Amino acid sequence: MKSKLPEIIKKLPKADISIDGADIYVSQSKDHQIVFMEFKKDIVIPEHSHDNQWEIVLQGTVDVWIDGLKHTYNKGDQFFIPKDIKHHAKIPKGYASIAFFDEENRYKMK
């Protein structure tokens, strides 16, 4: 599968996360993170919560359950998950996105 992310993004540090088939690159700030994600396999993200998250779909489709309600997002769509709201997702192979996390330590870097 050819990467949808440009080389300038792939030079960023990778997130230290054990999701087989996911490449997550982190742009770090002192009070937030912006992450660029690509998925080379189908992934199920279990239910969890964290600080505010805003995400825009660059490629593919994703199913996200936010506070128990299923939403399907496609290329060009954006979505917002408020702080402490439980959510989970089914992410298919080929999905790519950019996400803003309103916390400086959402992901640790390798």
**CATH class, range 7-101:** mainly beta
Average pLDDT, the chain: 94
In this model, does residue 20 exceed pLDDT 90? no
The predicted model gives 71-85 an average pLDDT of 98
Q: What is the pTM of this model?
A: 0.91
Q: 21-60, pLDDT tens digit by residue?
A: 999 999 999 999 999 999 999 999 999 999 999 999 999 9
Percentage above 90 pLDDT, the chain: 84
Q: Could you write out the three-class secondary structure of the chain?
A: CCCCCCHHHHCCCEECCCCCCEEEEEEECCCCEEEEEEECCCEEEEEECCCCEEEEEEECEEEEEECCEEEEEECCCEEEECCCCCEEEEECCCCEEEEEECCCCCCCEC
1: confidence class by pLDDT, cuts 50, 70, 90: low
